[in-house]
Amino acid sequence: MDKKNLGIKTRGLWKNPEYRKHMSEVHKGQRAWNKGIKTGLVPRTAFKKGQPSLNGMKGKKHSLESRKKMSKRNSGENHWNWKGGRTIKRGMHSLKVKEWRKEVFENFDFTCVSCGEEGGILRAHHINEWAKYPRERFDVSNGLCLHDRCHIDLHQGMIIYG
Ligand SMILES: [Zn+2]
Ligand SMILES: [Zn+2]
């Protein structure tokens, strides 16, 4: 049956050194991206350096004003960091997921592993859960191509893969 053949195909990919190489490259990219996020925190330190000059001014009025200034600057900076980080993260992920999904579909020739039919509304399923295995999120060999309906059956435990 088609199902069996596809199963062998997937299992084979796990052992394929080219896929492993691809995996490690993907992870390298992720690490580099994380480093970039850390660097994004540097401006905060730069802001702290500016504080002593503000503290040097005595009197309640001044401290209140400087506090206002501080909070204004602080919130603005935080907001910028937060928004920037989030946008990059989201964009990167959605693009990666799109690419991953496409590769999974192509890997299975747009054929559902459950019923063996080609085409239709297809979904890419993660063999190892997205939440528990973040390292395998974009690993093509961790993906299964299923119909939308067959995918629901899989999650309800109606289809078992061994
Ligand atoms: Zn199906
Ligand atoms: Zn799924």
User: What is the model's pLDDT at position 129?
Assistant: 93
CA 122–ligand 1 middle distance (angstroms): 8
CA 126–ligand 2 middle distance (angstroms): 5
Beta strands in the chain (DSSP E): 122-126, 143-147
| Residue 147, in any domain of the structure | yes
User: What is the model's pLDDT at position 91?
Assistant: 78
User: CA angle, 79 as apex, 50 and 34 as ends, to 5°?
Assistant: 95
pLDDT over 90 (residue 139): yes
Report residue 157's pLDDT band, with 50, 70 and 90 as the boundaries. Answer: confident
| Residue 14, in any domain of the structure | no
Using alpha carbons, list the distances in angstroms from residue 78 to 38, 50, 83, 89, 99. Answer: 14, 16, 8, 16, 32
pLDDT over 60 (residue 115): yes
pLDDT over 70 (residue 156): yes
User: CA angle, 93 as apex, 89 and 95 as ends, to 5°?
Assistant: 120
Report residue 10's pLDDT band, with 50, 70 and 90 as the boundaries. Answer: low
| Residue 41, in any domain of the structure | no
- Closest ligand (CA of 151): 2
pLDDT over 90 (residue 12): no
CA 155–ligand 2 middle distance (angstroms): 6
Counted domains in the chain:
1
Nearest in space to 88 (alpha carbons), one of 49, 126, 136, 32: 32
| Residue 61, in any domain of the structure | no
CA 123–ligand 1 middle distance (angstroms): 10
CA 124–ligand 2 middle distance (angstroms): 7
CA 9–ligand 2 middle distance (angstroms): 19
Out of 2-16, 58-72, 82-96, 143-157, least confident range:
2-16
| Residue 122, in any domain of the structure | yes
How do residues 90-100 score in pLDDT, each as one tens digit? 678 889 999 99
| Residue 133, in any domain of the structure | yes
| Six token digits for residue 51 | 């504080």
CA 128–ligand 2 middle distance (angstroms): 9
| Residue 110, in any domain of the structure | yes
Using alpha carbons, list the distances in angstroms from residue 125 to 9, 64, 97, 110, 153. Answer: 16, 56, 11, 13, 12
| Residue 19, in any domain of the structure | no
Mean pLDDT across the chain: 70
> Which residues make up the environment of ion ligand 1, defined by Cβ < 5 Å?
112, 114-115, 147, 150
pTM over 0.85: no
- Closest ligand (CA of 104): 2
CA 79–ligand 2 middle distance (angstroms): 35
User: What is the model's pLDDT at position 46?
Assistant: 41
Question: Which domain does 146 fall in, by range?
Answer: 95-155
- Closest ligand (CA of 119): 1
Amino acid identity of residue 132, one-letter, is: K
